[in-house]
């Protein structure tokens, strides 16, 4: 896996541009990786609704839950589906809207200096081996391309927004990830 330094995209990966991104603040070093989970509708996998959410084309009539998130403008740099399929929504040099109100080691607005990676899943459903393999390959590639990213700065959404978020949840095996890095 290789990241093109001129485009900040992973070479050969499906790129679906999200409008829910903007420029990072000037002179902002990217030094944090935030791992999330998502499923749409909640607890259902492989429906394609995550892509629709991140590109603002989610049909609110497709499921009752979607009326609750109508108008939500969010994105992530990457999505790793249960099968291990990887999709990029935002180039790494841009700010994806994934963390919301957040703080890491005294710095607020984590979107400014982080890369968000969504895993298709839930807090209490085991992630697949394919997801861990792809996630570790992505992180290694990110660290090779952006030397400010250290293994000590890989956190869950729950670590930067503990009052609001619980993902990637108790089912995420941090030791398994560390062993693969």
CATH code (residue 139): 3.40.80.10
Residue 170 has pLDDT above 90, yes or no: yes
Q: What band does 106 get if pLDDT is binned at 50, 70 and 90?
A: very high
118 included as an active-site residue = yes
Active-site residue among 26, 68, 118, 163?
118
| 124-158 residues labelled b (16+ CB within 10 A) or e (exposed) | eeebbeebbebbbbbbeebbebbeebeeebbbbbb
Percentage of residues of the chain with pLDDT beyond 90: 98
The band of 27, judged by pLDDT with boundaries at 50, 70 and 90, is confident
pLDDT by residue (tens digit) across 56-96? 999 999 999 999 999 999 999 999 999 999 999 999 999 99
Average per-residue pLDDT for the chain: 96
Strands 21-23 and 94-96: antiparallel
Q: Domain range for residue 69?
A: 3-180
Domains contained in the chain, number: 1
Q: Give the predicted TM-score (pTM) of the model.
A: 0.97
């Amino acid at each position: 896996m290789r990241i093109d330094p001129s485009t900040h995209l992973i070479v050969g990966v499906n790129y679906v541009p999200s409008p829910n991104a903007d420029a990072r603040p000037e002179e902002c070093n990217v030094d944090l990786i935030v791992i999330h989970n998502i499923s749409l509708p909640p607890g259902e996998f492989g429906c394609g609704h995550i892509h629709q959410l991140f590109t603002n084309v989610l049909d609110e009539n497709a499921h009752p839950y979607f009326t609750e998130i109508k108008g939500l403008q969010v994105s992530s740099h990457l999505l790793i589906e249960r099968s291990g399929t990887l999709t990029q929504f935002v180039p790494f040099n841009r700010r994806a809207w994934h963390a919301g109100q957040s703080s890491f080691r005294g710095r607020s607005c984590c979107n400014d200096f982080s890369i968000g990676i969504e895993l298709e899943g839930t807090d209490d459903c085991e992630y697949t081996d394919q997801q861990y393999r792809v996630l570790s390959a992505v992180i290694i590639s990110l660290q090779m391309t952006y030397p400010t990213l250290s293994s000590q700065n890989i956190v869950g959404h729950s670590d930067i927004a503990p009052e609001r978020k619980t993902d990637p949840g108790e089912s995420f095996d941090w030791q398994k990830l560390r062993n693969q890095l």
